[in-house]
Amino acid sequence: MPASFHIIGIFGRVKNPGVIETLKTLTTYLKKLNREILIEAETASAIDDASFLSVSREELCKRCQLIIVVGGDGSLLHASHAVVNNEIPVLGVNRGRLGFLTDIHPTEFDKIKAILDGDYILEKRFLLTATVHHHGKILGENNALNEVALIPDLVPHMSEFEIYINNQFVCSQNSDGFIVATPTGSTAYALSGGGPILHPSLNAIVIVPMFPHTLSMRPIVLDGSHEVTIVITPNNTTTPRLTCDGQAAINTPLGSQITIRKKTQKLHLIHPKDYDYYETLRSKLHWGHKLQYYVNSNSHPPFGNH
């Protein structure tokens, strides 16, 4: 039986419109449910309510059984980087634009009560770890729930690099860069670059070239356990940068080697019991909905048995 949650951590990106209002409503609601509430320090300063305990992000990760993030997908991405090593379950309340990862609408706090009582779906999403080596030294390392991306430095400029998978040479490429995305990130930056949508349950990653010079270059889907290595060749006139979930850009000098592999720890993502992945795709990507005829009819759909 799924565990119930009694010690709740609160995290919010308070610059987003409406977040502070929702945070105040949420904390009041949780207080009525007799839950112990810990609020991340920066979030607590925005709420400005001395009746709640303010703690550092590190303390939040040590003491909480569940962290509720108020904001958009970017807020949940930010929180995931902080909690993933502790594998603390995370629930998102959506005050953003899309909300692929933040399921709860601010008017649906009854779903939060059900989740706290143990009525929920637990989904484990894997992350990637990207490490940049140069002449035997590590220049930087970071995790990505969505994607690792090699992008131009300041001015858009085509870069040359080589791609290896499990130490096997795949190809050299001239392009603006590349994206290595998880199934979670397949509906983000990689989708904009023409990549496929991967179901979150897949153990797979996708490499998406960004504006390649060779038009036959296409996205490729790999086993999630494969290791991707990118070598920045000496022929470049500029040095691209590496980002993880759009954060912490790492410079990649000529001759750099970028290693991308699956992270051991996973993000434990909490959904309400009525969570429907395909409904999320329909609503966020504006796909067509089921025809009313098949909603209300006992007839078989066209592809069923007759």
How open is the CA angle 9-244-160, to the nearest 5 degrees?
A: 180
Q: Does the active-site annotation cover 73?
A: yes
User: Which pLDDT does position 290 carry in this prediction?
Assistant: 79
pTM above 0.75, yes or no: yes
Confirm whether 300 is domain-assigned. Answer: no
- Among 16-25, 183-192, 272-281, the least confident range: 16-25
Measured distance CA(191)–CA(281) in Å, rounded: 12
Q: How many domains are there within the chain?
A: 2
Confirm whether 139 is domain-assigned. Answer: yes
Quick one: 59 and 138 in the same domain? no
Measured distance CA(181)–CA(128) in Å, rounded: 8
Confirm whether 258 is domain-assigned. Answer: yes
Instruction: Decide: 94 and 104 in contact? Cβ < 8 Å.
Output: yes
- Domain extent, residue 148, equals 127-264
Quick one: 149 and 246 in the same domain? yes
Q: Which residue shows structure tokens 């637990």?
A: 122
Confirm whether 304 is domain-assigned. Answer: no
- In the predicted model, is pLDDT for residue 240 greater than 60? yes
**Once rounded to an integer, what is the mean pLDDT over residues 293-305?**
57
- In the predicted model, is pLDDT for residue 264 greater than 90? yes
- In the predicted model, is pLDDT for residue 90 greater than 90? yes
- CATH number where 171 lies: 2.60.200.30
State the CB neighbour count (10 A cutoff) for residue 211. 13
Mean pLDDT of the chain: 91
Residue 18's pLDDT band, with cuts at 50, 70 and 90, is: confident
Pick the catalytic residue from 48, 49, 73, 274: 73
Quick one: 157 and 244 in the same domain? yes
User: Which pLDDT does position 306 carry in this prediction?
Assistant: 43
Quick one: 11 and 91 in the same domain? yes
**Once rounded to an integer, what is the mean pLDDT over residues 159-181?**
96
Give the residue from 11, 15, 20, 149 showing the smallest Cα distance to 88.
Answer: 11
User: Which pLDDT does position 50 carry in this prediction?
Assistant: 79
Q: Which residues 6+ apart lie within 8 Å of 133 measured at CB? A: 139, 256, 257, 258, 259
Residues 189-218: tens digit of each pLDDT: 999 999 999 999 999 999 999 999 888 899
Confirm whether 204 is domain-assigned. Answer: yes
